[in-house]
Chain A
Amino acid sequence: MRALWAILIASALAACATTQTPDTQPPAGVEDRAPGAARPAPGPGTQGVPAKPVTGVDLTGDKPAAAGVAPHRDPANVLSQRSVYYDFDKYDIKDEFKPVIEAHARYLRENASLKMLIQGNTDERGSREYNIALGQRRSEGVKRMLLLLGVREEQVEAVSLGEEKPKEAGHTEEAWTRNRRSDMLYTGEY
């Protein structure tokens, strides 16, 4: 019972301590070298909405284009295509997505300071844990193709979100199709 009170008091204190110290460096072990990626953690009770890819122009430090919109942020550019879609329980990259990955490989080769995070996703069906592994397999597949096309290992990290971060919330075939996906994110977008 005493231990419980200690917890209650500690939590009351934690709940008051809403000041969030921004992390000045990434936590030990996390492979996250992107500037600005180490955001303050969501506070108690806050809704930590994940950052959506920013469409504005802010490429301090790694501006690859001379002026105007960076190619990977230009909706008219093939590099604005960031997603690879899959069939249920599959992780092979379909032919239709290969030109997109090739374009990103070329771009990463030409802009050695740019880094990419590949997030593998699955639909909600089946096991959450199997879906973590399946999502990882999907993102690793995209990463492997990028490396084969000459991108340096240090530029790319593959992670899995499994079924945890669906783009579509519904329980329909259409939603599932959109959620079986790898997303390619550039520095500053994650």
Chain B
Amino acid sequence: MRPMRNLLAAVLVLFAACSAHAQLSIEITGAGAQRIPIAVAPLAGEGALLDASGAGISAIVRADLERSGLFRGLEVPRLVPQPTEASSVNYAEWRSRLADALVLGSVAARPDGRFEVRFRLYDVLKQSALGGVAYTLTREQVRATAHRIADYVYEKLTGEKGVFSTRIAYVVKRGERYELQVADADGANEQAMLVSGEPIISPAWSPDGRRLAYVSFQNKKPIVYVQDIEVPKQQIVANFKGSNSAPAWSPDGKRLALALTRDGNSQIYLVNPDGSNVQRLTRSGGIDTEPFYSPDGEWLYFTSDRGGSPQIYRMSTRGGEAQRITFEGGYNVSPRVSPDGRSLAYIARNGGKFQVALLELATRQVQVLTDSDLDESPSFAPNGRVILLATIVAGRGVLTAVSADGRVKQRLTVTAGDVREPAWGPLNK
């Protein structure tokens, strides 16, 4: 095992110094038909608590909400005196600014050096307060707190969980250099988990959001690793003869499904995250790969060419017969079950184009969500509302996000490099 450690020292780098040089920038390329007009007034005193780029809490909250495509942030002029969550609200005035919803709040320095942030959310049409929260935080937690506020507002007004406090993982390729990156859902705070001269693919978040499983070619062939996002140390999960790839966590985090070729063709196996207790699940004459657990842990969806072309099947995690799920078209791969278990996102080939399709499992209705040519690696946001994917735009690898109704679209790019292999992390507890 000693040579392995040398290798790790050389390959494993966490790039604190380099993390500033390129982060994802996000552009909205489509929006929902009806966006809620919301006024996020500057929090009284927020100028004392800005993030590293000089942004205040209200600006971060507004940007979060706008990025979802479901809100339209209204310009709020400087008001004197500045209203806070404790002010009495002049609803008529906010209605005249065409706001349906309103956020007011304040920031106060505490004697212990920390800050207190309070806010309240109002329904301007109903002229009522919808609730509010107070947070105690350090200066470093400005963005995290703003994302929490945005999550609160989003959930109150849409009825769904917000995902502004979540993280995403992805791979950036710059020349012959590959970086496995973890960033906040808005692209900020990018941190490299692994930098290598060989490809990295298929990052998968553990259900608790603390570990990533991924495939690295650092030893000249695909090997599956698990790495704690706070500890720069790789643990080998599967390094058998042939290819080891396609890790997917069970919902309880106790098992990983993988594709191994140690017995010939690519087949699905289950293994503990420490590499022990390897169990073969599928036995087909063809290719079986890309396992993905249903949220209840009962089923494994996977890609197989056992019927002559790659199609999506599912099998009980206890084994047994496989059932075919996709029938239309000659190439359907990369199954991802939605967090509510009701639908399946996958990549379908339509007339030479590879696009993200969404299958409603109960009705078998299929909707193609994208109009790009080379889509790959769909990944649901933990609220099921958005699907993140990789595609090629003007010859460059970019990530795009599309809402599950196909309406809202975003594009996430990095300067000078290809981005690919997105994986959206779980909700914060």
Q: How far is the CB of A6 from chain B (nearest CB, A)?
A: 8
From the candidates B4, B201, B395, name the one contacting A129 in the complex (CB within 8 A): B201
Given contacts A44-B195, A128-B201, A130-B289, A89 and B243 within 8 Å (CB-CB): no
Q: Could you say which residues of chain B place their CB within 8 Å of the CB of A26?
A: 3
Q: A39: shortest Cβ distance to chain B, in Å?
A: 9
User: Given contacts A133-B261, A134-B287, is CB(A41)–CB(B221) below 8 Å?
Assistant: no
Judging by beta carbons under 8 Å apart, are B354 and A125 in contact? yes
Q: Are B198 and A48 touching (Cβ within 8 A)?
A: yes
> How close is A132's CB to chain B, nearest CB, in angstroms?
5
Residues of A within 8 A of B199 (CB): 164-165
Q: Does A183 contact B (CB under 8 A)?
A: no
Whether B259 lies near A133 (C-beta < 8 A) is: yes
The reply to whether A23 and B7 form a contact with Cβ atoms under 8 Å apart is yes
Answer whether A42 and B6 are a contact pair too, CB < 8 Å, given A47-B176, A48-B197, A128-B376: no
The residue among A1, A3, A160 with the most chain B CB atoms within 10 A of its own CB is A160
Is chain A's interface secondary structure helix, strand, loop, or mixed overall? Answer: loop
Q: Are B13 and A44 in contact (CB under 8 A)?
A: yes
B136 CB, min distance to chain A CBs, angstroms? 15
State which residues 1-47 of B face A: CB under 8 Å.
Answer: 1, 3-4, 6-7, 9-17
Task: Please state if B201 and A41 are interface contacts (CB–CB under 8 Å).
Answer: no
**B230: contacting residue among A4, A21, A89, A190, CB under 8 A:** A4
Question: Are B176 and A23 in touch, CB under 8 angstroms?
Answer: no
User: Which residues between 245 and 267 of chain B lie within 8 Å of chain A, taking CB atoms?
Assistant: 245-246, 259, 261, 264-266
The reply to whether the CB of A61 lies closer than 8 angstroms to some CB of chain B is: no
In angstroms, how far is the closest chain A Cβ from the Cβ of B199?
4
Q: Mark B287-327, 1 if CB is under 8 A from A, else 0.
A: 11110000000000001010001100000000000000000
Residue of B nearest to A18 (CB): B10
Binary interface encoding of chain A residues 166-177 relative to chain B, with 1 for a CB under 8 A from any of its CBs, else 0: 000001000000
A146: Cβ under 8 A from any B Cβ: no
* B9→A171 contact, CB < 8 A: no
Distance (Å) between the CB of B139 and the closest chain A CB? 12
- Complex: A6 Cα to B232 Cα, angstroms: 10
Q: Give the tally of cross-chain contacts (CB within 8 A).
A: 190
- B239's partner among A29, A42, A47 (CB-CB below 8 A) is A29
Q: Which of A28, A43, A132 contacts B245 (CB 8 A)?
A: A132
Q: Which residues on A sit within 8 Å (CB–CB) of B333? A: 126-127, 129-130
Give every chain A residue within 8 A of B349 (Cβ-Cβ).
126
Question: Do B374 and A124 touch across chains, with their CB atoms under 8 A apart?
Answer: yes
Determine the interface band of chain A, counting residues with CB < 8 A from chain B. 35 or more
Q: Decide: A15 and B13 in contact? CB cutoff 8 A.
A: yes
Tell me the chain A residues, 24-80 only, with Cβ under 8 Å from chain B: 24-32, 38, 40-50
Tell whether B241 is near chain A: CB-to-CB under 8 Å: yes
Contact, CB under 8 Å: A129 / B230: no
Residues on A with beta carbons closer than 8 Å to the beta carbon of B354: 125-126
Q: How far is the CA of A31 from the CA of B197 in the complex (A)?
A: 20
Please encode chain A, from 133 to 146, with 1 for each CB lying within 8 Å of some chain B CB and 0 for all others. 11111001000000
- The reply to whether A129 and B239 form a contact with Cβ atoms under 8 Å apart is no
Shortest Cβ gap from B416 to chain A (Å): 14
Q: Cβ of A159: which chain B residues have Cβ within 8 Å of it?
A: 220-222, 242-243
B221 touches A49 (CB 8 A): no
Q: Is residue B140 within 8 Å, beta carbon to beta carbon, of the partner chain?
A: yes
- Contacting pair B14 A7 (CB below 8 A): yes
A133 touching B243 in the complex, CB below 8 Å, given contacts A128-B421, A160-B222, A165-B199: yes
Judged by a CB distance under 8 angstroms, whether A161 is at the interface is yes
* B196 close to A (CB within 8 Å): yes
State the Cβ distance, A19 to closest chain B Cβ, in Å: 9
Question: Contact string, B122-154, partner A, CB cutoff 8 A, digits 1/0?
Answer: 000000000000000000100000000000000
Whether the pair A23, B202 counts as a contact (CB closer than 8 A) is no
Q: Contacts A126-B354, A128-B202, A130-B334: A11 and B15 contacting too (C-beta < 8 A)?
A: yes
* Cβ–Cβ contact A160 & B261, under 8 A: yes
Interface check A101, CB cutoff 8 A: no
The reply on A8 being an interface residue by CB < 8 A is: yes
Q: Please determine whether B16 and A12 come into contact, CB atoms closer than 8 angstroms.
A: yes
Contacts of B374 in A (CB 8 A): 124-125, 171
Cα separation A160 to B245 with both chains bound (whole Å): 11
- Residue contact B197 to A171, C-beta cutoff 8 Å: no
Most chain B beta-carbon neighbours within 10 Å: one of A23, A29, A136: A136
Docked-complex contact B289 and A38, CB < 8 angstroms: no
- Contact check, A171 vs B395: say whether CB atoms are below 8 A apart: yes
Chain B nearest CB, measured from A89 CB (Å): 7
A112 in the interface (beta carbon within 8 A) = no
- B-chain residues with CB within 8 Å of residue A148 when the two chains form the complex: none
Cβ of B421: which chain A residues have Cβ within 8 Å of it? 128
Closest B residue by C-beta to A5: B16
A113 CB within 8 Å of chain B: no
A162 to B242, CA, bound (A): 12
Task: Check A129–B140 contact: CB distance below 8 A.
Answer: no
Report whether A1 and B140 are in contact in the complex, using a CB–CB cutoff of 8 Å: yes
**Bound-state Cα–Cα, A18 to B204, Å:** 29
A158 contacts the other chain (CB 8 A): yes
Q: Of residues A8, A10, A14, A26, which shows the largest number of chain B Cβ atoms within 10 Å of its Cβ?
A: A14
- Can you name 15 A-B pairs with beta carbons within 8 Å? A11-B16, A21-B6, A28-B4, A30-B220, A30-B221, A45-B195, A89-B331, A126-B349, A126-B376, A129-B289, A130-B334, A137-B287, A157-B241, A161-B217, A171-B395
Known: A11-B14, A23-B6, A126-B349. 9 other contacts (CB 8 A): A29-B239, A38-B3, A41-B7, A42-B11, A43-B10, A44-B11, A46-B197, A125-B374, A132-B222
